[in-house]
Every structure is written in C-alpha cells, then in structure tokens.
Amino acid sequence: MLKALGRQLFMVELGVKYIKIFSKTFFHPFISLKQGYKQLSHERQNYSNKVLEFLNIEVKVYGKVPTQNHILYAINHRSLLDIIVMESIFSQHNKNGTWIAKQELFDAVYGKFFEYSGCISVDLENGRGLIKFFKKIKHTLNQIDDFNIYIFPEGERFSGEGVTSFQSGAAKIAKSNKLSVVNVHIDDTLEKVLSEAPFKEKKIVEVHFDKILTHENLEENYKMFMQKVKNG
C-alpha cells in the first residue's frame, strides 16, 4: 500500500514538473517544428529515464533499433509503462518522434501532459478530425527528416492473451506516408511489473525489435513476430 502510494506520488509530481517543462517548448513563439519536436522528444525521454530509475527497472533490448528514420513503430500495449520503456530506448538512439493517442486521453485530467509533450491526438469518431489528423501527420513528416511515428495498433491497453485486433489507423498512416514499419513487442507482464515497483533489486524488462518491413499485412506480420518472440 505504501509502496503504491509512493510510486503514484512520485510519478504525479514528476509529471506536473514536466508539464511545465514541455509547455516552454510547446508555446515557444519562434521555435521551428523540427527543433520543437526534437526538444519535446528529448524531454519525454528524460522524464521516462527518471521514472525507470526510481522504479529500479532496466530495459534489455533484443534486435536492433534502426538508424534510419521516417519509421512507424507498431507496439503492443499492456501498461502505462509501455511509453516510458520505449522512450528510454529511444533516448539511447537519439530518436525524434511522436505518439499517436486517442482524443479521450487529451481530455482527461492528465491530458496536458500528452498535449504539451508533443503527442498527436486522433478522434476516430470525427470525419473532419480524421482528415485534419492525416494532414498534420503528412505535413510533419514532410518538414522533419528525422521524424518517427510511435503507435499502439490495438488502440488501447489489452489484458488478454497475445494481441487484440488492430485498428486500421497504423496501416493507413504508414501507407499514405510511405513509411517503413518496425514491430516491437514489450514484455507482456509489464502491468504486473508496475504494480510491484519500485524494486529493491534491479528488475529487467525485455523489449524485442523486428526487422524493417513494409506496411502490408501489418497485423499478420505482427502476430508472426510475436509468436517468434514467444518461441524464443
């Protein structure tokens, strides 16, 4: 009980601090789009590394994080830690990019964290909103040569076995912007890991990166990759 309370207080207090840090870049009147996203990516990574350090979690990567950019990273989603773990990995490879998130997250109590940190919202129920969303993605990719897209194709956290059905957004983003795809599988037990953190001894979390693929058969390719990971 006390451990859970301490964890929650730390993450909330750090999150509030970083909302202020993000806002300085988000509302900067003269910063370029490229420099803005680069700075916000850097600050998200700093935040994530501080959280993992507090929780005493270390990330072990299998496979290679591509050196090239303009890649869509398709990631399974089990826990609040998923983004934090991925940002920690990206910090080691100087990656610049954005997370695609549902509009509901931006409307929640912690919505300013997502908005000011450079995430891009999408409202799946709003036709005009979807058009605006795809235009923003295309414009951003055209303006920033080292930009990447991070997305949970399932659309929300999934607690069942394997992965649930993918929504169509990830494949559409990749196809319309001619993006390569890299599938990423994060340790399925991450929600349990979060519930037990912080740890006295270092806790290892495993993340597997697939090779670079095209956008075709995204869900099928992901499930094949996940099975390969499971089989060792």
- Structure confidence by residue, pLDDT tens digits, 158-199: 887 788 899 888 999 999 999 999 999 998 889 999 999 999
State CA 52 to chain mean position distance.
Answer: 15
Q: At what angle do helices 33-55 and 2-26 cross, to 10 degrees?
A: 170
Residue 24 pLDDT grade (very low, low, confident, very high; cuts 50, 70, 90):
very high
Q: Which residue has the tokens 């830690």?
A: 81
Can you give the pLDDT at residue 163? 87
Amino acid present at 180: S
> How do beta strands 57-62 and 180-186 pair?
unpaired
Can you give the pLDDT at residue 2? 78
**Secondary structure class of 72 (helix, strand, coil):** strand
Q: For the whole model, what pTM was predicted?
A: 0.95
Can you give the pLDDT at residue 129? 79
Can you give the pLDDT at residue 218? 95
Please work out, in degrees rounded to the nearest 5, the angle formed at the alpha carbon of residue 43 by the alpha carbons of 124 and 194.
Answer: 70
Contacts of residue 126, defined as CB under 8 A and 6 or more positions apart, other chains included, come to 103
Give the right CATH number for 2-231 from 3.20.20, 3.30.70, 2.40.40, 3.40.1130. Answer: 3.40.1130
Residue 212 pLDDT grade (very low, low, confident, very high; cuts 50, 70, 90):
very high
Output the CA–CA distances (angstroms, integers) from residue 204 to 77, 82, 86, in the order listed.
Answer: 18, 14, 14
Contacts of residue 103, defined as CB under 8 A and 6 or more positions apart, other chains included, come to 121, 122, 123, 126, 129
Q: Which residue has the tokens 């390569």?
A: 180
Cis before residue 198, ω within 30 degrees of 0? yes
pLDDT score of 1 more than 80: no
pLDDT score of 125 more than 80: no
pLDDT score of 127 more than 80: no
Average pLDDT of the residues of the chain: 94
> How do beta strands 203-213 and 57-62 pair?
parallel
